[in-house]
Amino acid sequence: MRQSIILSAVLMVGLLTFSPVNFTAAQSSTDSARLENEPYDKNELIIQFKQNTNEKTKQALIKSISAVEASKLTDHHFSLLTLPKGSTLEAAAKSLLSHPEILSAEPNYKLAHTYIPSDSEYSKQWYLKNLNLPDTWDLPKGKTVIKTAVIDGGVQVSHFDLKGQITKPFNVITRKKTLLPNDHGTHIAGVIAAVQDNEGTSGIAPSSKIIPVNVFREEEADIYDVAEGIYYAIDAGADIINLSLTTDAYTNILDEAVQAAAARGIVVIAAAGNEHTAKPRYPAALKNVLGISATDKNDKLASFSNFGKYIDFSAPGKDIYSTISENTFGTMSGTSMASPMVSGVTALILAKNPFLTPSEVLSILKESSTDLGPSGWDPQFGNGKIDAHKALVNTPESMSTLELSDKSFTVEGSNKLNISFTPPKDTTISLYVENANGQTIKKMLTNQASTGEPISYNWDGKLDNGSYQSSGDVKLVIKTANARHSLITKKSLKVNNTFVPELTVSKPNYLYSPKAQAKLSIPIRLNKDAVIKAVILDNAGNKVRTLQKNKPFTGGRHTLEWNGTNSNRSQLKDGNYMLNISLIDSDGRVGSTKEIPIELDTVSPSGSIVNSDKRFKTTEKSKIENTITVTESVTGSVSIIDKNGKIVNRLLTDTSFKIGQSSVTWNGQTKDKKAAINGDYRFKVILRDKAGNSRIIKSPSFHLINA
């Protein structure tokens, strides 16, 4: 069964002021008798603290009027208070406002949906053609998924025409993700983002997402919950906030929430209201909010639509066919429907260029709008009726075309490729090269701040690993990002590398002991991709082991390893060997053969030690001397050990000893510079040769006597 409904007045609530106490500076005193007829909760008060008020002071002030803090927006210094029975808002506000810590005290205004039945004979979705959307959808679509927060009644997230369009739903009332479907919220969501799948309706921006935020208790909502919904939308990453709700009461809490969204670069769009009056309605009349009036099929101001100084644009709002609850569709009317028209077109603009600021979006909409009233801005249509096609045509690309000085780049050392582009301002830019596997092989720019000025970079073909890019295809990549979005721009490049493959090593020769090290590691570097053959030859030039047999290596740093064995994995004798490395690239260019001498040495160093005395009596200047004799250049570590082999003091660590004799002395102190106890001690020496072979020798014991 199809449902056909019109939404009349958006969300309506009267201006509430108090006499003689003003709740906020924006309100003026009126006849106090009017209070009795205004929609607000007579038991709730919204207060705002100064920013630096501590929690103890806050609670003391709340307690001073015997109120209970029902909820609070901690980061924004607002609290919702429940007053005790018998209290009046006027008295409570007067008491709190006498304290300098209180910036404002406001009623918790109520808002409600109202519906008017409608004839269902209107052409379905007439507004799509009216906004030039069919032509718009033929234009190249933006790559960015834009998220619009619909702060309203609950959206039917399971509606088949909203499949895949919902993200991060939140119910402010229940604090859960589950939403109770509501016709009004579902209708707005469909206007913006219903899917294009040849079934049901089509949203204005079908590639966008909806963040549905329920702020209603059945048909009623209040200002505090709406403000909280806005803060949730900010944190959820909304790009656009649609507010198809109104009140004629200015409130500080709603104003601050809207300004917080604008400060984060979010475009805030609100319905003007349906009372056919020029009286300001909020949030549409707030600064940094686009106020939207409604038009009909004939581009006339809808009979119900508000108008006035706060109108920025107009959009279709009468007899709008869209999604409603229970997987059906219906017709609604109201500025509630006009607001999501502008939200949908804004989503198309931001999908093309997500780095636009709200003021830049406003300029594009102004430049693209159709002037319906007197020339220029007027209070009925604002800057005119939005035009989706013109808006998207007038939206600049997020980045200028990535220009390359050559389509095919020859790498030869001195040749350079010029890369130029103009990024959007207030973003960060990363420029890099990817190989065929999508791996980053050259970083040129990393998170560089953009001022919007042209950027030029010259690349000689060298990669981060120090080699040059081999012949083949690569992609130049630009990543543009701001706080909410990032875009990737890629351009293919064919590279021709004319270099002959070359290999370099860090050392001309190596000395290796398999006893000291499990493997000999030989670092190499290639100037480009190449196939390597590496073999070990003995002193007579005979091959004894193949380390690599025609294995492809990428350009850059690598390591060849050998454990001193032959092809049968048997340990080779000490002696001189040669590592022979040959290489060839994919184009058949043969590099010079590299020969690296390797000496195998498994013999431990020899040496002897002699003490200067068998007894050592300590004085301030006395020392015992030990003479160390070695037959080859080594490094040595010398310690004093007690009779149990425990180290008492370390005298030398990794010290070079030349061939011949060297002496080491000890003054009888421990490593913490205290006198060692009387007893027997030894010098312990660890010798290591250049191949890493080691030998431990100990001196004869000597007796220490402390004076």
Do 429 and 522 reside in the same domain of the chain?
no
Shared domain check, 64 and 136:
no
Task: Report residue 427 as tokens.
Answer: 């973003």
What does DSSP say about strands 575-584 and 216-217: parallel, antiparallel, or unpaired? unpaired
Mean pLDDT confidence for 273-293: 96
Q: Which amino acid is at 493?
A: L
In a domain, 1, yes or no: no
**Nearest alpha-carbon partner for 234 in 208, 212, 264, 190:** 264
From the candidates 77, 159, 184, 485, which is the catalytic residue?
184
**CATH number of residue 84's parent domain:** 3.30.70.80
Q: Which of 59, 80, 112 is the last residue of a domain?
A: 112
Same domain for 283 and 378, yes or no, is yes
pTM: 0.75
- Residue 130 CB partners (closer than 8 Å, separation 6+): 297, 299, 316
pLDDT at res. 688:
96
Burial class (CB in 10 A: 0-12, 13-18, 19+), 545: buried
Contacts 24+ apart (CB under 8 A), 433-439: 433/459, 433/463, 433/469, 433/474, 433/475, 433/476, 433/477, 434/474, 434/475, 434/477, 434/490, 435/474, 436/472, 436/473, 436/474
Torsion of CA 430, 434, 438, 439, to 10 degrees: -80
Q: Please state the rounded mean pLDDT for residues 591-608.
A: 95
Q: What is the domain extent for residue 317?
A: 117-391
122 and 192 fall within a common domain: yes
pLDDT > 90 fraction of the chain, expressed in percent and rounded: 78
The span from the CA of 535 to the CA of 555, in Å, is 20
Could you tell me the CATH number of the domain that includes residue 564? Answer: 2.60.40.2550
pLDDT of residue 14: 25
Average pLDDT over residues 448-459: 94
| CA–CA gap between residue 243 and residue 188 (Å, rounded) | 10
135 has pLDDT over 90:
no
Instruction: Please provide residue 246's backbone torsions phi and psi, each rounded to the nearest 5 degrees.
Output: -145, 160
585 belongs to the catalytic site: no
Q: What pLDDT shows up at residue 111?
A: 62
* Pair (656, 517) in one structural domain: no
Average pLDDT over residues 660-677: 94
- Confirm whether 467 is domain-assigned: yes
Residue 49 corresponds to which amino acid? F
Whether 408 and 385 share a structural domain: no
pLDDT in tens, 29-54: 222 333 334 477 778 899 999 988 99
Angle, vertex CA 534, rays to CA 528 and CA 538, nearest 5:
150
Say which residues have a Cβ less than 8 Å from residue 170's Cβ, sequence separation at least 6. Answer: 176, 177, 211, 212, 213, 214, 229, 232, 236
Helices within 236-387 (DSSP H only) = 252-263, 335-352, 358-368
What are residue 211's DSSP bridge partners? Answer: 149
Same domain assignment for residues 122 and 107 = no
From 463, 478, 497, the end of a domain falls on 497
Query: How far, in Å, CA of 516 to CA of 532, rounded?
Result: 28
Q: Is 248 within 8 Å of 280 (Cβ atoms)? A: yes
Name 690's bridge partners: none
**Does residue 335 share a domain with residue 257?**
yes
Predicted confidence at residue 123, as pLDDT, reads 52
Boundary (domain end) residue, out of 600, 621, 641: 600
**Average pLDDT score over residue span 388-400:** 91
Q: Using 50, 70 and 90 to split pLDDT, how confident is the model at 399? A: confident
Rg (CA), the chain: 41
How sure is the predictor about 2, in pLDDT bands with cuts at 50, 70 and 90?
Answer: very low
Q: Of the candidates 345, 265, 348, 354, which has an alpha carbon nearest to the alpha carbon of residue 312?
A: 345
Identify whether 681 is part of a domain: yes
What's the whole-number mean pLDDT along residues 416-421?
95
What percentage of the chain has pLDDT greater than the value 70? 93
Q: Is residue 351 part of a domain?
A: yes
At residue 696 the predicted structure's pLDDT band, cuts being 50, 70 and 90, is very high
Residue 439 has pLDDT above 80, yes or no: yes
Tens-digit pLDDT profile for residues 613-660: 999 998 878 999 999 999 999 999 999 999 999 999 999 999 999 999
How many domains are contained in the chain? 5
Q: Are residues 103 and 136 in the same domain?
A: no
| Annotation marks residue 152 as catalytic | yes
pLDDT of residue 562 exceeding 90: yes
- Which CATH number covers residue 322? 3.40.50.200
14 and 53 part of one domain: yes
pLDDT at 414: 87
The answer to the question of residue 397 being in a domain is no
Residues 6+ apart with CB under 8 A from 661: 627, 628, 629
What is the three-state SS of 196-263?
CCCCCCCCCCCCCEEEEEECEECCEEEHHHHHHHHHHHHHCCCCEEEECCCECCCCHHHHHHHHHHHH
20 CA to centre of own chain: 50
pLDDT in the model for residue 30: 28
Pair (330, 365) in one structural domain = yes
| Residue 3 covered by a domain | no
Residue 2 lies in a domain: no
- Looking at the fold, whether 205 and 346 belong to one and the same domain comes out as yes
Judged against a pLDDT cut of 70, whether residue 92 lies above it is answered with: yes
- 428 located within any domain: yes
Q: Are 223 and 112 in contact (CB under 8 A)?
A: no
- Eight-class DSSP state of 265: T
What per-residue confidence (pLDDT) applies to 25?
27
Tens digits of per-residue pLDDT, 179-213?
Answer: 999 999 999 999 999 998 878 889 999 999 999 99
Average pLDDT of the chain to the nearest whole number: 89
What φ, ψ does residue 474 adopt, rounded to 5°? -130, 175
* CATH code for the domain of 459: 2.60.40.4070
- pLDDT score recorded for residue 36: 38
In the residue annotation, 276 being an active-site residue is answered as: no
Which of 8, 305, 333, 336 is an active site residue? 336
Contact 318, 336 (CB under 8 A): no
Which of 391, 386, 381, 349 is CA-nearest to residue 370?
386
